[in-house]
């Protein structure tokens, strides 16, 4: 049975992870809006690989923390909602409307990655609890 206190902890953890994901997006990606023009006329960007890697590593720590404490739904849903919401806000000025596809891909990728990380952390914690020497 889920107690009221546990439910409140889940809700607060979900909200905190949502806020952390939005803040991480702003820090790593939100400031970079310029596409890079190459000598051949092609454009890339606006994000560099190091920015995306930094974002992933930044949100990985709170996801691990939450999953290790049994807040798996909060880890998955909070982070996914935060990154998808930040992407929606950041990209919504695209007149073509194709940004919605990108936001959907961000949401699906984040859902899959946080679900995988949370599952691995939970299984490691369970195994450590069942096998004292592990």
Give the residue extent of every domain in the chain.
4-130
- Could you tell me which residues come within 8 angstroms of residue 79 by beta carbon, excluding any fewer than 6 positions away? 17, 18, 20, 21, 59, 62, 63, 110, 114
pLDDT, position 1:
63
Please enumerate in sequence order all residues whose Cβ is within 8 A of that of 26, keeping only pairs 6 or more positions apart, or say none. 86
**pLDDT of the residue at 100:** 95
Say if residue 36's pLDDT is above 70: yes
Q: Which two tokens stand for residue 130?
A: 């069942």
The pLDDT assigned to 32 comes to 78
Of residues 3 and 44, the one with the higher pLDDT is: 3
């Amino acid at each position: 049975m889920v107690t009221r206190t546990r439910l409140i902890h889940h809700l607060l953890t979900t909200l905190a992870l949502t806020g952390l994901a939005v803040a991480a997006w702003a820090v790593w990606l939100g400031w970079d809006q310029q596409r890079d023009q190459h000598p051949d006329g092609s454009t890339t960007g606006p994000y560099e690989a190091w920015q995306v890697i930094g974002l992933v590593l930044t949100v990985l720590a709170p996801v691990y923390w939450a999953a290790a404490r049994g807040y798996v739904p909060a880890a998955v849903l909070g982070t996914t909602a935060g990154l998808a919401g930040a992407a929606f806000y950041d990209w919504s000025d695209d007149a073509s409307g194709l940004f919605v596809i990108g936001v959907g891909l961000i949401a699906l990728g984040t859902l899959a990655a946080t679900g995988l990380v949370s599952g691995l952390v939970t299984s490691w914690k369970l195994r450590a609890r069942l096998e004292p020497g592990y």
